[in-house]
Amino acid sequence: DAGVIQSPRHEVTEMGQEVTLRCKPISGHNSLFWYRQTMMRGLELLIYFNNNVPIDDSGMPEDRFSAKMPNASFSTLKIQPSEPRDSAVYFCASSPGTPQPQHFGDGTRLSIL
């Protein structure tokens, strides 16, 4: 079975550029989560969707970050404009309706120069 699929796996871009991260959850999972992982802060929840609706976006650091889930099989996390402090590994995760993630994707390693 396909797991949570994220793209790209790696992204290197210059500050000020727009960055879009993509996620395809496991089929049938109706909860989707975006996490950010850094050495300093560990894993942090950015936003949680249930049935495509954002339930908790209190972890989104600032207005430069936005997330959408237009349908049950696709979500994006966008950073515009990007800054060097946004450099981190971004994980998407999904679960079958439970409010905690069951499976994480392999992550997108983002470097902002």
Partner 1 sequence: GNSVTQMEGPVTLSEEAFLTINCTYTATGYPSLFWYVQYPGEGLQLLLKATKADDKGSNKGFEATYRKETTSFHLEKGSVQVSDSAVYFCALRDSGAGSYQLTFGKGTKLSVIP
In the block, tokens 């992982």 appear at 37
Q: Does 104 bind partner 1 (CB under 8 A)?
A: yes
Looking at 10-18, 54-62, 63-71, 72-80, which segment touches partner 1 (CB under 8 A)? 54-62
Sheet of 65-71: strands edge to edge?
5-7, 19-24, 74-79, 65-71
Which of 13, 22, 59, 68 is in the footprint of partner 1 by CB under 8 A?
59
User: Parallel, antiparallel, or unpaired: how do β-strands 108-112 and 10-13 relate?
Assistant: parallel
Q: Angle at the Cα of 9 (from 17 to 53), degrees rounded to 5?
A: 75
Q: Which of residues 9-38 bind partner 1 (CB under 8 A)?
A: 33
**Interface residues toward partner 1, by CB under 8 A:** 3-4, 33, 42-45, 48, 55-56, 58-59, 91, 93, 95, 99-107
